Amino acid sequence: MDLNLPLQAANRLLTPQAERPVHPLILRAINRMRPEHGGKDPISIVGFTNHPQHYTKDEEMAEKPHLLSQISLVPAKPVRQDVLWALHQAANLYGNIPQELPRFSIRTPVCTRSTT
């Protein structure tokens, strides 16, 4: 979910603090769904991004974007952690999508037919 917030607001909401790794507002939103789903989270991961360069002037340097993902501690369905981590990493590709894909040599499979 891209929040599209100014830098100061995004810092308050998305920057982890020692006393609270995730802002209470985000936790309340996630926890609100649990009672309706038998005490489990229907969402295995929720990711938040913010790209404050939308709020900079042309001559200003863009501020660093934010990325925060919260993985469920009580998922409704089991999910591989490596898949959730890959989703988190993919969210960090905003603006860095490769223009070309690597070239692979595609070999035509050789089919043989048995005569026996």
* Domain locations in the chain as residue ranges: 7-91
Give the burial class of 100: count Cβ atoms within 10 A of its Cβ; 0-12 exposed, 13-18 middle, 19 or more buried: exposed
Q: HSE-up of 6 (CA within 13 Å, CB side)?
A: 4
The pair of three-digit structure tokens given for residue 51, joined into one six-digit string: 């790209």
pLDDT value for 98: 58
pLDDT value for 112: 45
Specify the length of the chain in residues.
116
The pair of three-digit structure tokens given for residue 89, joined into one six-digit string: 């990493």
Strand residue runs (E) in the chain: 45-50, 66-71
The pair of three-digit structure tokens given for residue 4, joined into one six-digit string: 């599209």
- pLDDT digit of tens for each residue in the chain (116 aa)? 888 888 888 888 888 887 878 888 888 888 899 999 999 999 999 988 888 776 677 777 767 888 889 889 899 999 999 999 988 888 888 766 556 656 655 554 444 444 44
Query: What is the torsion angle, in degrees rounded to the nearest 10, for the CA atoms of residue 28, residue 32, residue 37 and residue 39?
Result: 50
Residue whose token pair is 């591989």: 80
Encoded amino acid at 54, one letter: H
Q: Rounded to two decimals, what is the model's pTM?
A: 0.69
